């Protein structure tokens, strides 16, 4: 391929390659260095951080999508943005930096990664369905297939615009709430056919960094868990390393695990939540619950990946998982008996990675 793409296909290939290389560079940077002002700024004589460069890329990406959405809807498009002229792009860049100033480096990385059309179905604040696909309608149907029983009366969340095809499928299910960044006008009309259904638009907001729970005559206060595991965090501790697809599924499962009530075990395969055990008093119980749910809905666990929100003090969990068909495991590690689980995985050719971060949710 020449340096200048000759057609749409070459342009797309160039974009994909550049994106992959840029993302790889970001993932190798330690978080502690991400806010150091050592990058030349967009305005002459200023310095910005790596976090600011991410904010710049995210801001421009969303702005271009905004142009496209408004043009597609027949609305006026103001270039480059309302309140800015083309000779004020430095000021616009500073606005992007300010908009994402409170975001942690991992969250900025995840926003930049944009995992593609993803749909989640929540019940009692736990995911009972989650899937990423090429289109949001495909993602919804895959998420629904995870656990159609629990999906009844649930909360449905999309990470991108809900179109007519998706709204039509959603309308076949009784659900209390639908949340998405935006909707096609016809999609809203379809969703409003069901009485009392709540339709919400998701906006980016700065969430409180303290979480509070009532407890007897007092309260418990804890820091918000802003850490999302990514590829750079993974440490392979077994002789068998996870494949690229397994790594993707391990990260996917870990994201679900982080946001599921402890003790929890999560199974994922090919960008889909297969099943989970949630809110159990023992990790073995959570694992057995997840296996039973997978069987109930006809899922084959062979080749699936498993995530745990805490370490394994004994090798029983990896043994049960292996016998069920699991081939890769992600967990924080940190038990004084980690080696027992590592030894079992090595003896049975399971891949296991440690993250160093426990994701308890209570």
Q: Which domains, and CATH codes, for the chain?
A: 34-113 (1.20.120.450), 118-201 (3.40.140.20), 227-354 (3.40.140.20)
Q: How far is CA 166 from CA 134, 146, 273, 319, 340, in A?
A: 13, 17, 19, 40, 47
Give the burial class of 79: count Cβ atoms within 10 A of its Cβ; 0-12 exposed, 13-18 middle, 19 or more buried.
Answer: exposed
Q: In the chain, which residues have pLDDT < 50?
A: 1-2
244-280 residue pLDDT tens: 899 989 998 998 888 888 889 999 999 899 999 888 8
pLDDT of residue 1: 41
Can you state the angle between helices 105-113 and 8-27, rounded to 10 degrees? 160
Place of tokens 């200023």: 46
305 Cα distance to chain centroid: 16
- What is the model's pTM? 0.66
3-state helix, strand, coil in the chain (%, to 5): 40, 20, 40
pLDDT of residue 113: 64
How far apart CA 214 and CA 133 sit, in angstroms, is 39
pLDDT of residue 202: 82
pLDDT of residue 204: 64
How far apart CA 123 and CA 295 sit, in angstroms, is 20
């Amino acid at each position: 391929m020449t340096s200048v793409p000759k057609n749409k296909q070459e342009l797309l290939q160039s974009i994909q390659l550049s994106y992959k290389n840029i993302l790889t560079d970001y993932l190798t940077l330690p978080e502690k260095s991400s806010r150091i002002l050592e990058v030349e700024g967009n305005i002459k004589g200023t310095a910005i951080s790596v976090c600011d460069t991410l904010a710049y890329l995210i801001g421009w990406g969303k702005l271009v999508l905004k142009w496209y959405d408004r043009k597609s809807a027949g609305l006026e498009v103001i270039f480059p943005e309302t309140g800015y002229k083309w000779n004020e792009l430095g000021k616009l860049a500073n606005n992007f930096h300010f908009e994402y100033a409170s975001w942690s480096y991992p969250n900025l990385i995840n926003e930049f990664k944009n995992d593609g059309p993803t749909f989640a179905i929540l019940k009692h604040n736990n995911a009972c369905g989650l899937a990423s696909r090429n289109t949001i309608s495909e993602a919804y149907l895959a998420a629904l297939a995870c656990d159609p029983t629990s999906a009844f009366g649930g909360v449905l969340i999309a990470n991108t615009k809900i179109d007519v095809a998706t709204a039509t499928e959603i309308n076949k299910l009784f659900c209390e709430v639908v949340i998405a960044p935006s909707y096609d006008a016809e999609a809203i009309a379809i969703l409003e056919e069901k009485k009392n259904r709540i339709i919400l638009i998701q906006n980016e907001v700065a969430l409180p960094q303290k979480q509070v729970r009532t407890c007897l005559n007092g309260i418990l206060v804890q820091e918000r868990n802003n850490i999302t595991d990514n590829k750079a965090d993974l440490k392979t501790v077994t002789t068998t390393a996870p494949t690229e697809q397994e790594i993707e599924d391990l990260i996917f499962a870990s994201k679900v695990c982080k946001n599921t009530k402890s003790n929890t075990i999560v199974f994922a395969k090919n960008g889909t939540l297969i099943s989970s055990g949630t809110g159990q008093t023992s990790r073995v119980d959570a694992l057995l619950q997840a296996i039973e749910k997978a069987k109930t809905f006809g899922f084959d666990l062979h080749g699936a990946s498993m995530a745990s929100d805490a370490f394994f003090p004994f090798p029983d969990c990896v043994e049960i998982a292996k016998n069920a068909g699991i081939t890769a495991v992600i967990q924080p590690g940190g038990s004084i008996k980690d080696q027992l689980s590592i030894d079992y995985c090595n003896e049975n050719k399971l891949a296991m990675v440690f993250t160093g971060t426990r994701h308890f949710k209570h």
